[in-house]
Amino acid sequence: MSAKPWIVCYDISNNKNRNRALYRLRKLCDGRQKSVFECWFTEAELTELYEQLLPLIDEGDSFFCLPVSRSRSVIRLGQAESLLFSDMLLVA
pLDDT tens digit string along 18-68? 999 999 998 888 777 778 998 899 999 999 999 999 999 999 999 999 898
Give 11's pLDDT tier (boundaries 50, 70, 90): very high
User: Residue 87 annotated as binding?
Assistant: no
Task: Return the domain boundaries, the chain.
Answer: 4-91
Query: What pLDDT sits at residue 91?
Result: 43
4-91 topology per CATH: Alpha-Beta Plaits (3.30.70)
Nearest to 25 by CA among 12, 9, 11, 14: 9
Query: What pLDDT sits at residue 30?
Result: 78
Q: What is the mean pLDDT of residues 72-81?
A: 63
Nearest to 68 by CA among 88, 47, 92: 88
Give 73's pLDDT tier (boundaries 50, 70, 90): low
